Amino acid sequence: MENGLTGLFDGWEETMVWTCLQGHMGQVVAEGGPPPVSALCAVGDFCFLAGFPSRTLAAQADRPILVPRTMDWIPVIRSVWGTRAVPFLRYAIRKEPDVFDRSWLADCAATLPEGVILTSSSGSNRQSVAEHILSFTLALCRRLPTYRDAQRDHRWEDHGAMKTIFGANVLVVGAGNIGATYAAMCRGLGAHTIGLKRTVNGPIAGFDEVFSIDHLDDLLPQADVVVLVLPHSAQTVGLMDEGRLSLMKEDAILISSGRGSVLDQEALARTMKGGRLWGAALDVTEPEPLPTDSPLWDIPNLIITPHVAGGMRLELTRRVCIQMAQDNLRRYLAGEPLKNRVR
């Protein structure tokens, strides 16, 4: 984040922007300077535009969603893209209470006319996130990060024993939509799957066993793979601390893809540098982006991705969102209960 780009995006609370500026994903294009006066960050389906409005940069913003830093960019974008540029309000929420203004959204909902119904697309990214977690699992089992490092250094080396998901005990801490989808994938590969959730109301598809989260300490020593897919809450902050990391098998795999606050990252770094755990993978951290001086970056058997497991990165997720909306419209017209109703 050098060359004056930080100032252009200063105050922008968007993980993708800062991860892009750190060089971990996407592409940055700057104009003018030094220091630059305009810049864009292109990440996935998004182009984030900052600084003095530039027709040159607007023309290079070829992603489906353009997010300008200020309203001054709008006439420039329209002059370049014409009727293809359709303005809309995007209010993306995060579950952490310190970065999501729930009162603002509540005020917006309160202005809606009486009788207006709101529904969510909860569960639409379950396949995307579950596949990401499964990719982590298999990559670590087969030592792929180690072999990637060897390839980078042009070293033809055999790094010995590997692991298999077949017959493994997979403990999923957070047996919701994503956890159950991942568990079903693991069962298909021959794993024994155990789910933990706050309240157990019976069997859950994808799991061989389901327990309340109160059994976490009893089950950690039995697990070959531990997956954290919990939301941020007062009850989950620091749940996976140094004590619980010490309960895991020395050759277990740990994956975190819920919220970064659930895992004590400093404790994880100490644990892994001390030679415990076969490997680990994080798609979420606390904070985000992960600071460049974090010791986690340099642990060879740790995979880090910048919170990209979900979102709209798969066309499948878009289709599922559309199908959910269509299904609820059909239900509404038929007088049936709506799914994922929030108001």
The model's pTM: 0.74
Residue 5's nearest CA partner among 49, 47, 68, 62 is 49
Supply the pLDDT for residue 63: 82
The reported pLDDT for the residue numbered 90 is 55
Spatial contact of 20 and 43, defined as CB atoms under 8 Å apart: yes
Residue 71 is predicted with a pLDDT of 86
What angle is formed at CA 163 by the lines to CA 161 and CA 166, rounded to 5 degrees?
A: 145
Active site residues per annotation: 259, 288, 307
pLDDT of residue 97: 45
Model pLDDT, residue 14: 66
CB neighbours of residue 10 within 10 Å: 9
- Given CATH 3.40.630.110, say whether it is the number of domain 5-84: yes
Look-up: residue for tokens 């066309």? 315
| CA-CA-CA-CA torsion sign (6, 303, 217, 184) | positive
Separation CA 293–CA 256 (nearest Å): 20
276 Cβ contact list (under 8 Å, min separation 6): 245, 246, 248, 250
Give the pLDDT of residue 99: 46
| 19 touches 26 (CB < 8 A) | yes
pLDDT of res. 95: 44
Percentage of residues in the chain with pLDDT exceeding 90? 63
Q: Alpha carbon of 23 to those of 7, 62, 66, 279, 306: distances in Å?
A: 16, 20, 20, 24, 11
Class of the 126-304 domain? alpha beta
The DSSP 8-state label assigned to residue 162 in this structure reads -
Domain ranges in the chain are 5-84, 96-121+317-343, 126-304
Determine the length of the chain: 343
Grouped pLDDT means (10 residues each) for the chain, 343 residues: 68 72 82 85 85 91 85 90 76 47 72 86 93 98 97 96 98 96 98 96 95 97 98 93 98 96 97 98 94 95 94 87 92 94 84
